[in-house]
A and B are shown apart, each in its own frame.
Chain A
């Protein structure tokens, strides 16, 4: 339908329960290891300044952890790298808190929790922590958040001829909202997409006229089941972990899918 967007993935970050970084997750996805029961239960958010880290909710810590892995692996200073953070539901525990407080005693709403409730909280904290003054964005597309967010990031990188940090993160829901979101564990991933680097796996993206079947994830299937928003992210990471040339087709809209060609 159009010329493919051609990029290199020069950095990858990931966080899953039992796999707090891409190095761990990669060997698990290759089938060479299993999730580590002793791994931290919460993302560390190490890059956030101490004061910010205390205030930051889990979704922000998760996004910061995967983003810093990706930029470190790419060897790039995040200060000038535009960043796009995708999330299907945003900070679910904060949404639960805000709605519960409003129903009970609206004047008691915490100002910090309120400003942490915006979908661009991860982008805000990340740009503050890294001194990033480039464009930053927070995007969502419900079940298509990963594919649509990745397309947005790839388009930004190619149109503006700049490396772009892309992250896709969702945290567990709490309270009555959980029944509506089906997200019971946290998962996040990030990639540094570069339009003209000479290293890193090649990623070609193109729109395909027609719908696609949902992906099936075999390794870490419980993560895909309990963080359905990121099942597709996990499918792409599985291909990148195995480092074989491969193709992936993800549903994008009612009439389009996103074709991905991966050349390690």
Chain B
């Protein structure tokens, strides 16, 4: 088992999803049970499903000096950075530590592939149309390179792209960099946008529901796909002693199948064990779990098998009924939801579930509720059997 780590402060964070722009919109929706899924009006060809689409992106053009980065994914990244004073917090970290002492680690599964898809639809004599002949947006690092440019962060920069665990793993990588003294702070996060690749790709795997997704429901029949941008600024605890903290992280591989989880959740269990060990706590200390809960038959069946180790008082929910599965952004988005649970004493409900699977029912929070949350977990499991689990906890009393 790994050793306990020094916690890090979440000095700032923000999220933008189908629930709205910024933390207040997320909080209001999670508190009231207002979901953000709507009929698919995005794909280039008709596809009957619900999607979690972020409003207002078509008008969110990038400022002129950054215009060469323009594409839907970078627009969403930019929109996300404008919320909740994030740009000021980043500037503060750069001022405190120096631009090269702030690392940038972002997760994305498809980055700006939407722009590449667009180029293929508009080929000009077999070449990309002139407005899309920008190599820097046809690469999976497009998002992080753009965010480095937009924020002035000059420390180590990396994109992690492990499908749906991408932006959970960024917390682990950043913690290691800071622990070894290679950075003093890190901006982590994830951005993924709707694109035909994921809508038709998951459809081809018969994993997309025609309805709004129903995590942990006996009748669940697949995912709803969403888009989101979520960021967190990690700094030493002394910088923000009252802020909630990253307590632990765990990562593992299933070694089982490219698109189906291990039937007993072997990898997920290992990630959870490691995360709790690094946090130095037992499962009995966990108040809230933000489940991966994609609403596929297999994911939810396997993830429910992890629950019996938790006390009956531990509340658990998937928030994908609110936002859809935001894929490479899900880890960071749901980390922010776990942080909101701690900061505001809420348990987000498992929206979309009316007939809970018996295996999960004792822990599932079906209605919004208010209660003190000191420790919150977030699970993220991706294609290729790639698992990550994060543990967050309360900071010092203000």
Binding site for B on A (CB under 8 A): 1-3, 5, 79, 82, 88-90, 95, 98-100, 102-103, 106-107, 109-111, 114-121, 123-125, 127-128, 130-142, 144-145, 148-149, 151-152, 155-156, 158-160, 176-177, 179-182, 207, 209, 252-256
Contacts and interface: CB of A to CB of B under 8 A. Distances in A.
B27 interface: no
12 contacts: A102-B197, A111-B204, A111-B206, A124-B253, A127-B384, A133-B267, A141-B144, A176-B127, A181-B138, A253-B100, A253-B155, A255-B100
Contacts of B181: 2-3
A103 B121 contact: yes
A1 B101 CA distance: 9
Nearest to A98: B197
Interface residues of B, number: 74
Nearest to A5: B180
Specify the main secondary structure of chain B where it touches its partner.
Answer: mixed
B45 A145 contact: no
A259 to B, nearest CB: 12
Contacts of A177: 116, 138
Interface of B: 2, 43-45, 47, 99-100, 109, 113, 116-117, 119-121, 123, 126-128, 133-136, 138-142, 144-145, 148, 154-163, 169, 173, 176-177, 179-182, 196-197, 200-206, 251-259, 266-267, 270, 382-386
A258 to B, nearest CB: 9
A217 B298 CA distance: 49
A120 B161 contact: yes
A156 B2 CA distance: 13
A139 B113 CA distance: 16
Given A102-B200, A207-B156, A128 B385 contact: yes
Contact of B252 (A111, A131, A133): A133
Nearest to A86: B158
B136 A142 contact: yes
Given A115-B205, A149-B158, A253-B157, 17 more contacts: A1-B100, A89-B140, A102-B121, A102-B197, A106-B44, A107-B200, A109-B200, A117-B201, A120-B162, A136-B162, A139-B161, A140-B161, A142-B141, A159-B176, A159-B179, A180-B134, A207-B156
Contacts of A209: 100
B382 to A, nearest CB: 7
A121 B382 CA distance: 11
A207 B154 CA distance: 12
Contacts of B145: 141-142
Contact of A95 (B113, B133, B196): B113
B93 to A, nearest CB: 14
Nearest to A82: B251
A99 B270 contact: no
Contact of B255 (A102, A128, A145): A128
Given A155-B177, A253-B100, A253-B156, A102 B258 contact: no
B139 A140 contact: yes
Contacts of A141: 141, 144-145, 157-159
B156 A181 contact: no
Given A115-B205, A142-B145, A159-B176, A136 B386 contact: yes
